[in-house]
Amino acid sequence: MRVAVIQQKNCADLNANLAHSLALVRDAANAGAELVLLQELHRSLYFCQTEDTSVFDLAETIPGPSTETLGALAKELGIVIVGSLFEKRAAGLYHNTAVVLEKDGTLAGIYRKMHIPDDPGFYEKFYFTPGDADFNDGRSGFTPIETSVGKLGLLVCWDQWYPEAARLMALAGADLLLYPTAIGWDPADEPAEQQRQLDAWITIQRAHGVANGLPVLVANRTGFEQSPADDSGIQFWGNSFVCGPQGEYLAQADSDSEQILIAEVNLQRSESVRRIWPYLRDRRVDAYGDLTKRFRD
């Protein structure tokens, strides 16, 4: 299967961002992609650098205008599109939500970001409620979304640091792990520290592929976005990538340009890799009870 990952720069114009995303998706489809992954919160600037109640006006319902637009494009092109939206679930209840549009334009499913950070420049707890641990139909919050191109283990940005999230998606039958992301450097950090952060980010996600025998798709934004409060900001570090079930690179973007990554993903390789590295077979599930504790005192 040919997949595409979109690495995009954003501006303050919502309509311009969406139009640009749609154009990049078209280009990816023209290159043969059957599955296209957009970056986290691709409709706007990364607004979590400050806490501002007026920003909640950016949120929208799901289904809503963006899912209708993405769905129409998915149907026109005959592809699966994964988008990322600021969801208004109810008054005072908002989520960072990834959406999957099927080839026929229907909404195949949603994933609400489960791990929410709260760090300088990334004040997401002010805006986003964590996804529900269980859906009303009894499914876990870490449940793959079934599509015509496979079961998508969809996670969002901060989720990418947690091996538990990737493992639970794998245990639920995911065929691929996908991470729409918005992460970057504090420009004030020393270059060596910036490199350590980037290396850690790449390594942890490739490790999720290795530990679970699954391909991984990562879409990060790029470009500098200034804080609304002062002259500081975030230099988003790009480096979107696709890797296979042994962590091998299939495609990788640079740090500072918009790119459409195209990669060939062979889902049968997961079967072959899991036969020689049967991690799921050898798990000691009888000894992992303490994983549900915050900490072992």
**CB neighbours of 10 closer than 8 A, spacing ≥ 6?**
17, 42, 44, 45, 46, 221, 223, 225
What tokens does 121 get? Answer: 């420049």
Contacts of 199 by beta carbon, 8 Å cutoff, 6+ apart: none
Q: How many CB atoms lie within 10 A of CB 6?
A: 28
Tell me how far apart the 2 most distant CA atoms of the chain are, in Å: 56
Residue 6, φ and ψ in degrees, nearest 5: -100, 125
What angle is formed at CA 104 by the lines to CA 102 and CA 110, rounded to 5 degrees? 25
Helix (H, G, I), strand (E, B) or coil at 191: helix
Is beta strand 176-181 parallel, antiparallel or unpaired with respect to 93-101? unpaired
Q: Which amino acid is at 21?
A: S
Question: CA angle 67-96-38, nearest 5°?
Answer: 55
3-class secondary structure, 145? strand
Hey, what are 188's tokens?
């004030």
d(CA 143, CA 153): 7
CB 147, CB 102: distance < 8 Å: yes
Catalytic residue annotation = 40, 113, 157
DSSP structure class, residue 94: E
